[in-house]
Every structure is written in structure tokens, then in C-alpha cells.
Amino acid sequence: MSTMWQGCLAGTDYFELRSSGGHDYGVWVTTPPGYDPGTTRAPAVYVLDGNWAVGQTAPLIVTQADPMQRIQSYIQVSVGYAGEDAQHWDRLRNRDLVPPGEPIAKELVDAVEMGVRMGARTREESDAYLAELRDTHADAFLDFLTTELHPRIERDYGTATSGHGLFGYSYGGLFSLYAWLTGCTLFESIGAGSPGVASEDSQVFAQLQELGEQPARLHVTLNEQELLGDLAIYQSLTKNTAALLHRLTARGEAVTSAVLRETHVTGLQASFLSYLRTCRAPSG
């Protein structure tokens, strides 16, 4: 990483990795202050949407040295897109983060169309965004994280053998729910911020019907303005996520949740911090 970026993201390395499926990913690895794997090995916390999230979440690595509220040591691995794909990260994430067969909610299509009318997206960009949602592969991306990326992080950064985490926001939060519901054994804690459960027929409800024993801890956050605002897409995701939480609680699952005083756009950093405080506080 260049000297300029080191000044912004201290302790951060960057590399690119092509998956077995032929997709190019950019990976930012941020180590905690004074990290020495020869002395104490830290687990990895994987953060999705790296192109957007790394600047807001990686600086929170300093919470591990906060004397007022300590956070267990971790190495942050932010995963995004590389090369030409980096400028299209907001639509390519649909392919990787959304479960196979996930229905496209009418509220989402309406929100995309509103973006066209307001000039936030061109018609071509909107069509490409929706096209990615018609052929989604969260299963392949989860396999990439666990069987291709993690072994490299483990080898190059001397991670601990256990205690790893996963955090995603919006569609990344939907992916986090998907990973948790699959029973993925790599992660011991998972944070799902404002998960994009846009449809009441979401695949996560079908997964819930087949859920077996799940030892990983799950923390879910929503935002106050999603719940109280007048945008139908955000109302839908909060309603559907709440329904999922109620069903999980009824089953006695190890799930925690919080409502944050944010909007969908501003909630990323607050949601990640909520995950750290809830799932990575020192035990005892």
C-alpha cells in the first residue's frame, strides 16, 4: 500500500486474489497495534463490501487498545473488488452476497426506479444492477472466503486457529445471515447489519426451517430511520428481519440485536462497532 494510504489506514496491507470462479477480489488486511504473531496470534474478522467499508471500519482496529472498553484482538480482513470491477462493486456485490434463488422484492425494484428518476443511476446502470440479482451465488462466495481466502490469511498473517468472525451490512448483512444459517464452522461470531431481507419469501426463512445446532453467535442491528422513515424498501427489510429475529428467539438461539439511531447509509460504522462491543468484548 502507498505511503499516502498507510497514513490513513495504518497497519494495512493490500493484495488481489483471483477466485477459482475467475473473479478478482481486492483484500485489505489490517493488523492490530503492535501485532506480533510470534507472541500472540489473533483471529480474523472478515468485513464485506471492502471498497466501501474499509475506510469506515478498519480504523476501529484501535478499539483493541481502548482502556475504557477493550475489544478482543482481531485482524480485520476487508474483502472487495479489484481492477475494473472495483468501480462496479455496488452491483457485483449482488452476485456474491445474495443467496441463490433469492426473490427480487417489488420494493427494491421501485427503489431502483426511483434512483433513475432522481438521477442517482442511469438506466443502463439500473438494468445492470437488477441483472446481477437474477443470478446470485452467495454459496460460491462463501466457499471462496472459507476455502481460498482464509487459508492464505492464516498462512501469511499467522492467525489464531479459532475465534474468527464475519461482518456484513445491507446485502452483506443478508450474506451474514445466510452464512450463519448454513452452519458455516469457520466463524464463531457473525454480525449482520441492516440485513437486506427485502422479501418475506427470502431464502433465509427456508434456511431457518432446516436449521440444526448452531454454535456461532449472531448479532443483528437495524436502524431507527429504516423503521420510522417513509421508504418502503427499508420498511420491508426491517419488518422481515424482525420476523426472522422473533422466530430465532422462539427457538432459543444465541442471537442478540440492537436498534441504532442511524439511517441505512450512515449505519455501517455504528453497526460494526455494535458487533465488536457485543461479540468481541473480553470474556470474564
pLDDT of residue 284: 45
Averages of pLDDT over runs of 10 residues in the chain (284 residues) are 63 95 97 87 97 96 88 96 95 98 96 93 94 97 98 96 97 98 96 97 95 88 96 97 95 92 97 97 72
Cβ atoms of residues 12 and 23 within 8 Å = no
Angle, helices 89-97 vs 50-57, to 10°: value is: 100
Q: Which helix (H) or strand (E) holds 140?
A: helix 138-143
CB 53 within 8 A of CB 93: no
SS3 (DSSP) at 12: strand
Q: Looking at residue 10, what is its pLDDT?
A: 81
Pick from 196, 215, 207: nearest CA to 253: 215
Tell me which CATH code domain 3-99+138-279 carries: 3.40.50.1820
Backbone angles phi, psi at 27, to 5 degrees: -130, 125
pTM of the model: 0.95
Predicted confidence at residue 6, as pLDDT, reads: 59
